[in-house]
A and B are shown apart, each in its own frame.
Chain A
């Protein structure tokens, strides 16, 4: 009995996984998070490389004692906050409804 339920559930998982809707959700998710990850990693390591290989450039004073290095560092904070907000909004709007629909489809058909 329990085994039948498990098997039916497994069937459903495979069915959902192969559905066009799920393929679209997965593609949408990856199209967002992979480039975003590449972007923030590149931006962070650019900053690290500048700080380690171009310290005198980073020490250039822009206004009083405020240096380019400080501004670039604060921009790392700003970009981290921005990406966080952009992703959270995007995921709330784009990801959650599609995921909820598929989850419902998945649970709705379950025999348990």
Chain B
């Protein structure tokens, strides 16, 4: 199996990879232009006219959620660290039950376009909207950076571009394409890109899984045998503990994962693209089945890569861990299958970045510009104009940020986004949906407290500084080399910042004087549970 190692440095046929990706861009762009001819109103731009079915939206959510980090990252984590990669994927799936049971339907019925619509429904508009927008922008920025940073590594791996200038150019092209999708397609176009991408991704994963399965007579235990052989003969890859050495650290990460998903603004915004809360429920049901199926396939992909490519060859490849799935595709299906998987990986980045850009631009235009600066005295057309301009600015910032973040640890940036979402967003979402006596002060303390706590703890954690220097490579696993200012012992802040945000939300509410607005509270409660007065779908064109 070690004979594969030299090939790993120049996998497949670069021209073919580019051609297949180009084909994806042409086809999706044509579809985006077609579906977006009637893209006029704010509801069209932000919420795709609320005309998607639950199934369509469920597939699109899957596309949004299975970002490059989880598609390439988890397969690679399983290939190299075995069981711990699998353990990690389970948190991402179970998290959807929070969205299904507590958030999706009520949010769909209550809000219009953004998370802030729900949070500010019965509290003081301007401060709460501002806080919600700040945290939306923060979470989206970290997530965006993670995707763009991942693009650099992917380019190195799949197009054979190893110098930074070349990689930066490709990042700029990906960013520019994304801006085009968002400007032309709005939410409607972006949703279709997600649907196509998710379908390709799942089909690709099924194909590879079946090929691995055929090789091993669909015997999982036999596959594990080879994976063990290729991992130095140790069956440690079947046990927990290779990647997560510190139990408290993993528990902290689990809290952030399981509570973060239902607080990710770009996921929440997708619930507004369906006409009713029943369809929002269907969306989550579809998303859970598809995401769950995908993670099950990833288990085979990961161990398959360990068995057929080998952890050493994977670690030696340009994209390191992230190259596990592409290398496996190359081993099984040659250049063509690798080309397809590469195109899907690029499409993943493109689609996820587009979704994030819409969310961030909506939050700025709808929450900050229209409601805080203009105090709601603005027509929908100008609001959408502002949103489009914001999308361009965010796109440019994402390109520049992506060029600078190129090579940064993607998993760290994604974990950061989840930790901030779980701390700053979820407690306030739950309080405002379920607790009558929640107040503006409670919301502000919880959101700003959760945001500041999670950011501070991350800055002073070992991820940023102070991890021991690896003797083999001579570098520390921390972000900043050569200094050590960490005092927080855990990699992920969730264990502290999430309970703290819940506590602050309670404390802020019980210490402020009662501000329950009975009329608004009645409207919110009745609306959230029955759908009476909820935003309707646009007429189908």
Interface residues of A (CB under 8 A from B): 9-10, 13-14, 16-18, 22, 25-26, 29-30, 33, 36-37, 40-41, 44-45, 47-49, 51-53, 55-56, 58-59, 63-67, 69-70, 73, 76-77, 80-81, 83-85, 87-88, 91-92, 96, 99-100, 102-103, 106-107
List 9 A-B pairs, minimum CB-CB distance, nearest first. A64-B221, A52-B247, A106-B532, A65-B224, A59-B239, A17-B522, A103-B532, A103-B530, A51-B240
Shortest beta-carbon distance from B146 to chain A in Å? 23
A69 and B281 contacting across the interface, CB-CB below 8 Å: no
**Interface of chain B residues 222 through 253 with chain A (CB within 8 A):** 222, 224-225, 228, 235, 238-241, 244, 247, 250-251
- Tell me the bound Cα distance from A70 to B228 in angstroms: 15
A50 to chain B, nearest CB (A): 9
Given contacts A10-B519, A17-B522, A77-B90, contact A37 B98 (CB under 8 A): yes
In the complex, the answer to whether A14 meets B522 with C-beta atoms within 8 Å is: yes
How far apart are the CA atoms of A18 and B350 in the complex, in Å? Answer: 48
Cβ–Cβ < 8 Å partners of B240 in chain A = 51-52, 55, 58-59, 69
Assess whether B531 is in contact with A55, with CB atoms less than 8 Å apart.
no
Q: Can you report 27 residue pairs joining A to B where beta carbons are below 8 Å apart? A: A13-B519, A16-B530, A22-B526, A25-B530, A36-B101, A41-B258, A44-B254, A44-B258, A48-B87, A48-B250, A53-B247, A55-B241, A63-B221, A64-B221, A66-B221, A69-B238, A76-B90, A76-B94, A80-B93, A88-B282, A91-B105, A92-B278, A96-B278, A99-B531, A100-B531, A102-B529, A106-B526
- Which A residues touch B238, using CB under 8 A? 59, 65, 67, 69-70
Chain A residues closer than 8 Å to B160, beta-carbon distance: none
Within 8 A of A (CB), among B254-308: 254, 258, 278, 281-282, 284-285, 288-289, 292, 295-296
- Main SS class of interface, A: helix
Chain B binding surface, main DSSP class:
helix
Cβ–Cβ contact B522 & A51, under 8 A:
no
Q: Does B364 contact A (CB under 8 A)?
A: no
- Say yes or no for B459: interface residue by CB 8 A criterion: no
Chain A residues with Cβ below 8 Å from B281 are 88, 91
Q: Which residue of A lies closest to B277 (CB)?
A: A99
CB distance from A69 to the nearest CB of B (A): 6
From residue A74, how far is it (CB to closest CB) to chain B in Å?
Answer: 8
Is A37 within 8 A of B97, CB to CB? yes
With A and B bound together, what is the CA distance between A52 and B239 in angstroms? Answer: 10
Residues 388-430 of chain B, each 1 if its beta carbon lies under 8 Å from chain A, else 0: 0000000000000000000000000000000000000000000
Known: A44-B258, A51-B87. Contact between A69 and B289, CB under 8 A? no
Give every chain B residue within 8 A of A44 (Cβ-Cβ).
Answer: 90-91, 94, 254, 258
Q: Could you tell me which residues of chain B, from 83 to 116, have a CB within 8 Å of some CB in chain A?
A: 83, 86-87, 90-91, 93-94, 96-98, 100-102, 105
Task: Give min CB distance, A84 to chain B, whole Å.
Answer: 5
Which B residues between 422 and 449 are near A, CB-CB below 8 angstroms? 434
Report yes or no: B519 in contact with A14, Cβ–Cβ below 8 A: yes
Give the chain A neighbours of B532 by CB distance below 8 A: 13, 16, 102-103, 106-107
The residues of A that contact B100 with a CB separation of less than 8 Å are: 84, 87
Nearest-CB distance from B78 to chain A (Å)? Answer: 11
Does B379 interact with chain A (Cβ within 8 Å)? no
Contacts of B224 in A (CB 8 A): 64-66
Say yes or no: A99-B529 contact (C-beta < 8 A), given A17-B522, A66-B220, A73-B90: yes
What is the minimal beta-carbon distance from A49 to any residue of chain B, in angstroms? 7
With both beta carbons as reference points, the residue of chain A lying nearest to B288 in the complex is identified as A84
> A91: which B residues are within 8 A, CB to CB?
105, 281
